Structure 1
Amino acid sequence: MRITNEMVQQKLAELQFKEVSVSLSEFIHTSEKEQDSYQAFLYRILSFETKRREDNKVLKRLKLASFPYQKTLEDFRIEEQQSLSTKQLNQLRELTWLEQAYNLILLGPPGVGKTHLAIGLGIEAIYRGYKVMFLAMGALVRALNTQDITRKSQTIVKRLLNADLVIIDDIMYMAMDQQEANLFFHFINQLYDRTSIVFTSNKGPEEWGELIGDPGITTAILDRIIHRVEVIHLNGDSYRMKNRSTIFGSISVHE
């Protein structure tokens, strides 16, 4: 029986070896040129398929994370941060805190890189195989408020609860009413001690009570968040102000 490339490609497709199937002729040519053994040829195509499947999983996790943009830790300007050293950034990058279900609170004024750092850590976690979800605080409150009536909100909350790392951006930028505070507490309680949370905020935890309103709920929320937490203060000039575009080019407004 004469075996053709088309027959092999069909079998590979049936086994869902789609990437290898498409590139089969190239693999055969390379293996003939390298004079591969049968084992080497098989290892070559299996390694390729494994790598492409993992790449596709990463792309899927990146999409599901819902980052507003993708900036890595390599893009983070550590030299402009007086309160965070390269050594500390590398320690964060190791993700030991994530393995131990630690939380991070990234504090600082607008524009100093809080969200960038959070997203960079999230992307790093995704490449390590973790499931990550990013959501601004306003969007989180809306999803919690409407999860009983809209499928979209149900899906968002489900993904958040199934994530290994949840990033909540701009926490406590607006006041909550009693219902929202209760919903937020139950959400934090469900994540407590099993999921790491990264918060970005320009207000310290000691100020959160003013926006949550209820002292009892505030205490319960902070108790769960601060049980295992690292607070990182970011300072310096706003990246956005320092690197903003101008309609005047290099011409001074005083000239």
Structure 2
Amino acid sequence: MAAKRLAVLCIFLLPNTQFRQLRLAETAEELPQLLREAEKASWTYLEFLESITRYELAKREAKSLEKRMKWARFPFVKSLDEFELRGQNVLTARQLSQLRELSWLEQQYNLILLGPPGIGKTYIAIGLGLEAVYRGFHVYFATMGELVQLLKSEEYLNKSKVQLKRIRNADLVIIDDLMYMAMDQREANLFFHLINHLYERSSIILTSNKSPEEWGHLIGDQGITTAILDRLLHRVEVIHGGENEESHRMKNRKSIFSAEV
């Protein structure tokens, strides 16, 4: 017992800088408390080592998750558990369950969510993005307008360079409101080069209220349109929301008026 206490005391007396040099920064902060627990519970050497290892790994994962969430840049955070499946025909419960398994992401498939505004396309995309973040994947969310501005300003804005580097390195890129407006020749070229870079490196989720057949009119250049579609549709699941589907926002809206008696 005396030898054990001496060993614990020696560890306690080690400067925190040594733990930091070993990249055990979280353990360095918590070490006094861990040592008190070890002494109180009479942990064995193995139990003590297991405890500090679990603590360090748990803290590192929490920090990693926090960083992935920050880099994802979701406009809001709502899980798929909160999505109201009843009364909509975008996805069945079984389809949603299959998508949440993320096998499509592991196989680098793309998802295209089509349909009129307000049926939950963005909600589903963000929900799947959250699932991916929690599973350790790197995700990036951007509207089409934001993405085009990043691409156009990459040459002279360091902030755009940083964001596009994250996009190009992401496991999953979510592009919301694709083709909501026409692109000029330069924008179309820049967008093609991004899609070409992500092709078979990352998965992409696209939401749009226009079908791929209409994209050519908005891009203008049929050659670029064909090249973009060729890469997006090579490995893809296209999910259609009904044209007559009532807006998810309208069905789940909150009123300032109480229900009439």
Does structure 1 retain, via aligned residues, the 8 Å contact 2:12–2:35? no
TM-score (norm 2): 0.88
Offset of 1:167 from its aligned partner?
Answer: 0.5
CA distance change for structure 1 residues 192 and 14 in 2, over 3 Å: closer, same or farther? closer
The amino acid across from 2:238 in the alignment is V
CA distance change for structure 1 residues 87 and 246 in 2, over 3 Å: closer, same or farther? closer
Between the aligned residues of both structures, percent identity stands at 54
- Matches of 1:64 and 1:71, distance apart in 2: 16
Offset of 1:194 from its aligned partner?
Answer: 1.4
| Corresponding residue for residue 212 of structure 2 | 205
| Corresponding residue for residue 178 of structure 1 | 185
Offset of 1:4 from its aligned partner?
Answer: 7.6
Aligned: 1:75 with 2:102: no
- Matches of 1:53 and 1:234, distance apart in 2: 40
CA-atom RMSD, angstroms?
2.1
CA distance change for structure 1 residues 137 and 41 in 2, over 3 Å: closer, same or farther? same
Aligned: 1:91 with 2:98: yes
Residue correspondences, number? 252
Which of 201, 213, 227 is residue 234 of structure 2 equivalent to? 227
TM-score (norm 1): 0.90
- Matches of 2:26 and 2:198, distance apart in 1: 37
The amino acid across from 1:22 in the alignment is E
- Matches of 1:157 and 1:31, distance apart in 2: 47
Q: What's the CA shift string for 1:49-92, capped at 9, x where partnerless?
A: 10110110011011011111111222222234334222211211
CA distance change for structure 1 residues 80 and 35 in 2, over 3 Å: closer, same or farther? farther
- Matches of 1:13 and 1:121, distance apart in 2: 36
- Matches of 2:18 and 2:156, distance apart in 1: 46
Runs (5+) with no aligned partner, structure 2 = 1-5
- Matches of 2:89 and 2:76, distance apart in 1: 25
Which SS does the other structure have where 2:183 is aligned?
coil
